[in-house]
Structure 1
Amino acid sequence: MPQTSSLFDLSGRVALVSGGTSGIGLAIAEAFVDHGAKVVVGSRTADKVKEAVDRLNDRVAESAAGAVLDVQSEDSVRGAFDHGVRRFGTVNDAVHSAGVMHKADSAELEAEPFNRLYDIHVTGGLRLAKALAAHLASSGASQPDAAAPVEPAGSFTFIASITSFAALSGVTAYAAAKSAQMGLIRNLSTDFGARGIRVNGIAPGFVPTDLNRKMITGTDRGRRILERTPMARFGTADEIAGAAVYLAAPAGAFVNGHTIVVDGGFLACGLGDAVAPWS
């Protein structure tokens, strides 16, 4: 009988993580190497890439490599995958955690930042997913024309958002991009699932990171969020990383086309009567 831990064993797998040098992306990279995977972390900033690689290799020796990665560039995306293949022999899994925020009232929102966020979060994810599919096809791991039941070849995970499901004021461009990721997840999971590549998403609730910390920590907005979170706290990056390990591991081998919400019950809470001061 297999050991329970084998359900979450990533030994022998190689994952590329965009935005893998800080916040949720770095926590995912750390969790992957802790569970036996090799990881290629990508970011647009070379210094951050080096710092993250050193941190991961200190954690687990020879577990990580890095690539300067701009998800808005197909050449950069291909280069990051090529680097992973040269360093570790293959890339099995990818996580799209790269992202930026733009705060503006909808009436003042300009097309340039709106389109930029879409290109990073949505089109950037498409570039990464296509590069993963192309690599697995060229390596013979995926099975585009298989008549027999499809064997797992790889996985792709988007880091979506609570704004994929619920409106938040002032972040229209971000919310639109994260909502569009949901449609991309469904369609890619359909097209790539027959090749053995599962495509899923994780929608974090409110996790303080460099992207949003000033907006939710010690602010009235943050207070209102906590009043509507049954667990009465913000989440942590490690708690999101656990879901990412699940989706890449044998435990998640039949999960395809879904977005897992990790939000402490925020979406379920409604008016927040259970945790607000008036209760």
Structure 2
Amino acid sequence: MSIELFSLAGRRAVVTGGGRGLGKAIAAGLADAGATVAVVSRTSADVEAAADELGERVVPLALDVAGDDAAGLVDAMEAALGGAIDVVVHAAGVQHRQPAEEFAADAWDRVVRVNLTAPFRLSQEIGRRQLATERAGSHIFIGSLTSLLSIPDVAAYTATKSGVFGLIRTLSTEWSGRGIRVNGIGPGYFRTALTEAVFSDEERYRKMLDRIPMGRFGNPQELAGTAVFLASDASSYTTGQLLMVDGGWTAS
């Protein structure tokens, strides 16, 4: 197999939540494979720092992807990238931990808006433009262990990540015959700001570690190869899939 199948040279990519954590690692991988990448976050300092660190092919863009104006967001992304978008990775996400019987309504609404509604609206607008111009595309959603199984105290997160897997399947069914592939990555436990509450609890830390067949947690950089695969021609016949990168958790 030619290494050129994995090349993203000449392609334009957007990574939401790309200023830190898993999104930043994915953005680095796409840029290393040759793509021009817009890293998007509400926090200007995060995206500026990420762009400075990751190099000249990475463009910082401070935007709230949970805003209502999807067309305006995509216009800004295309302007920053200098053309139409080929790849979008939906890595922005929020978490709220609370027992189901106590789960606050405003927290539920926020998690659903950021984790499920926002990525759908963004892919919807990017997809419209790709379909209208017959431009091939790769849309990559970030799922979770909770796309497939349940974990206590994260009802909204579980609902959204289960919904993300549904979106992957539905958008793939509707779009893959017209040149747009839709897939997802399901990370296991990686130490990021989103999971810090779990990692700082020694009892939960040991319990989770014992559950992982590989015997360790993931490094954010270990998601980059999966993202490059799904964004590139190496996965040209792969669509509608959620690829778990979890150290074997969901297989055991």
User: Any residues of structure 2 matched to 1:245-256 within 5 Å, and which?
Assistant: 245-256=228-239
Q: Distance in 2 between the 1:5 and 1:206 partners?
A: 29
One-letter identity of the residue aligned with 2:146: T
Q: In 1, Cα distance between the equivalents of 2:39 and 2:175?
A: 23
1:51 is matched with: 49
In the other structure, the counterpart of 2:119 is: 125
The number of equivalent residue pairs is: 251
TM-score between the two structures when normalised by the length of structure 1: 0.86
Give yes or no for the alignment of 1:155 onto 2:138: yes
Structure 1 segments unaligned to the other structure (5+ residues): 143-152, 270-279
The aligned counterpart of 2:147 is: 164
CA distance in 1, matches of 2:143, 2:32: 23
| 8 Å CA contact retained: 1:38, 1:88 | no
Shift of 1:195: 2.1
Within a 5 Å distance, the mapping from 1:1-279 to structure 2 comes to 4-57=2-55, 61=56, 63-75=57-69, 77-86=70-79, 87-138=81-132, 140-142=133-135, 153-217=136-200, 219-269=202-252
Over 3 Å counting, the alpha-carbon distance change for 1:210 and 1:218 in structure 2 is same
**In 2, Cα distance between equivalents of 1:79 and 1:30:** 25
Q: Deviations 1:103-156 (Å, cap 9, x if unpaired)? A: 101111022211211111111111111121123234x233xxxxxxxxxx0110
Look at both structures and tell me which one has the larger radius of gyration over its CA atoms: 1
Aligned equivalent of 1:275: none
* Aligned amino acid, residue 206 of structure 1: Y
Mapped contact 2:42–2:62 kept (Cα < 8 A): yes
**What is the TM-score of this pair, normalised by structure 2?**
0.95
Q: Which has the higher helix share?
A: 2
1:217 CA displacement: 4.6
Unaligned runs of 5+ in 2: none
Q: Cα RMSD over matched residues?
A: 1.5
Q: Deviations over 1:195-224 (max 9, x none)?
A: 211111110011111110231256211111
Task: Please give the alpha-carbon distance, in whole angstroms, between the structure 1 residues aligned to 2:164 and 2:78.
Answer: 27
Q: Quote the sequence identity (%).
A: 40
CA contact (8 A) 2:65 2:73 kept: no
Q: Deviations over 1:28-56 (max 9, x none)?
A: 00000100000011101112121112222
User: In 2, are the aligned partners of 1:68 and 1:80 still within 8 Å (CA)?
Assistant: no
Inter-partner Cα distance in structure 1 for 2:206 and 2:14:
35
